């Protein structure tokens, strides 16, 4: 690979540019009109305006980004994180334009990016999942039936959610009715997908993440865990490694489960498997995967 377009801005773009420089790879930066003097535009070999200041018109403008990448003779596109990093359509279009998407395949992003689909894949791979709905729920009536079966409290989740959005806890039927409508509306507005699923809410827990790396030959390894339990409004504040709560056996089982999860979707590149560890019964369950 000789030339890479960085489809991002800020510190992650700067870090990618510096890494490429160390590897002898030329870099092409993109910027919005509001970022024309940003550091990443100054240290890249080339820099081009991709659109107006608003992200939806610039850093999320797929046609403009791909046009710049192809016209400048790039071999690959590095999405960084955020923006288009977990966008399966973008990854697929990069491939169609004969550009290497520096990340997982679009097929892996599709499978793991939609949470109810990811959960189904994990069940097939013998990775433990939290008890809950079998796929998406049709309406609040179905949600009530499922909640009655698994018991309150429950947690309502948007299948396309992320970043702490599209998620609510319900402790009784009244909260479920209100939470279902609010979460559905929020998910539709934020992600363009109002699909919801439900899980049993585990109250006494630790949030554990396993970093994995896969190659294009089907090999996957994990790089240990980090404890991300300390959060505010579903956003992580502190990450601690190794987790002080896990014993050696659980740590080994969780690492093996993360590797199985990644292999199940033929995962390539770096990614993160998130688990919730129930302190009441000392069991862990798959939550989601970050395909970046």
Q: What is the pLDDT of residue 165?
A: 81
Q: What is the pLDDT of residue 262?
A: 97
Can you give the pTM of this predicted structure? Answer: 0.85
Asked whether the beta carbons of 168 and 156 are under 8 A apart, the reply is: yes
Q: What is the pLDDT of residue 149?
A: 94
Please pick, among 15, 21, 251, 292, the residue that the annotation labels catalytic: 292
* Count of structural domains, the chain: 3
The beta-strand segments (E) located in the chain are 3-6, 26-32, 46-51, 76-78, 100-101, 154-162, 165-170, 196-200, 205-214, 220-227, 231-232, 235-236, 269-278, 283-290
The domain spanning residue 149 has which CATH number? 3.30.1490.20
Asked whether the beta carbons of 252 and 183 are under 8 A apart, the reply is: no
Asked whether the beta carbons of 270 and 216 are under 8 A apart, the reply is: no
Active site residue 292: yes
**Claim to verify: residue 11 and residue 96 sit in the same structural domain:** yes
SS3 66: helix
Q: What is the pLDDT of residue 208?
A: 98
**Claim to verify: residue 167 and residue 214 sit in the same structural domain:** no
Q: What is the pLDDT of residue 201?
A: 96
Asked whether the beta carbons of 99 and 74 are under 8 A apart, the reply is: yes
**Claim to verify: residue 213 and residue 277 sit in the same structural domain:** yes
Domain that holds residue 221: 205-290
Q: What is the pLDDT of residue 292?
A: 87
The domain spanning residue 237 has which CATH number? 3.30.470.20
Query: How long a stretch of residues is the chain?
Result: 292
112: in domain = no
The domain spanning residue 14 has which CATH number? 3.40.50.20
Block mean pLDDT (10 aa), the chain, length 292: 97 98 98 96 98 93 98 97 93 97 96 87 95 93 95 93 84 96 90 91 96 96 97 90 96 98 96 96 94 90
71: in domain = yes
Count of other CB atoms within 10 angstroms of residue 128: 15
The pairing of strands 231-232 and 100-101 is unpaired
Q: Phi, psi (5° rounding) for residue 147? A: -60, -40
110: in domain = no
115: in domain = no
Q: What is the CA radius of gyration of the chain?
A: 20
Q: What is the pLDDT of residue 190?
A: 80
């Amino acid at each position: 690979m000789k030339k890479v377009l960085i489809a991002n801005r800020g510190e992650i773009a700067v870090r990618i540019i510096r890494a490429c420089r160390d590897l002898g790879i030329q870099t092409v930066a993109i910027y919005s009109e509001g970022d024309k003097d940003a550091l990443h535009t100054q240290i890249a070999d080339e820099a081009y305006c991709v659109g107006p200041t608003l992200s939806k018109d610039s850093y999320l403008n797929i046609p403009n980004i791909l046009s710049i990448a192809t016209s400048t003779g790039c071999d690959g596109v590095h999405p960084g994180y955020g923006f288009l990093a977990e966008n399966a359509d973008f990854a697929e279009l990069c491939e169609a334009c004969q550009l290497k998407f520096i990340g997982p395949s679009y097929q892996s992003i599709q499978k793991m990016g939609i949470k109810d689909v990811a959960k189904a894949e994990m069940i097939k791979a013998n990775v433990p999942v939290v008890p809950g709905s079998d796929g998406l729920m049709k309406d609040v009536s179905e949600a009530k039936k499922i909640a009655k079966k698994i018991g309150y409290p429950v947690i309502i989740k948007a299948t396309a959610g992320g970043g702490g959005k599209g998620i609510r806890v319900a402790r009784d039927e009244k909260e479920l009715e209100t939470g279902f409508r609010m979460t559905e509306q929020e998910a539709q507005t934020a992600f363009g997908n109002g699909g919801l699923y439900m899980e049993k809410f585990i109250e006494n827990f630790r949030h554990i993440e396993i970093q994995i790396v896969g190659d294009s030959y089907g090999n996957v390894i994990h790089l240990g865990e980090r404890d991300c339990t300390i959060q505010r409004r579903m956003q992580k504040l502190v990450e601690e490694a190794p987790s002080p709560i896990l014993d050696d056996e659980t740590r080994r089982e969780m690492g093996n489960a993360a590797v199985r999860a990644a292999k199940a979707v033929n995962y390539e590149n770096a990614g993160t498997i998130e688990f919730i560890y129930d302190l009441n019964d000392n069991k862990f369950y798959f939550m989601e995967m970050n395909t970046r």
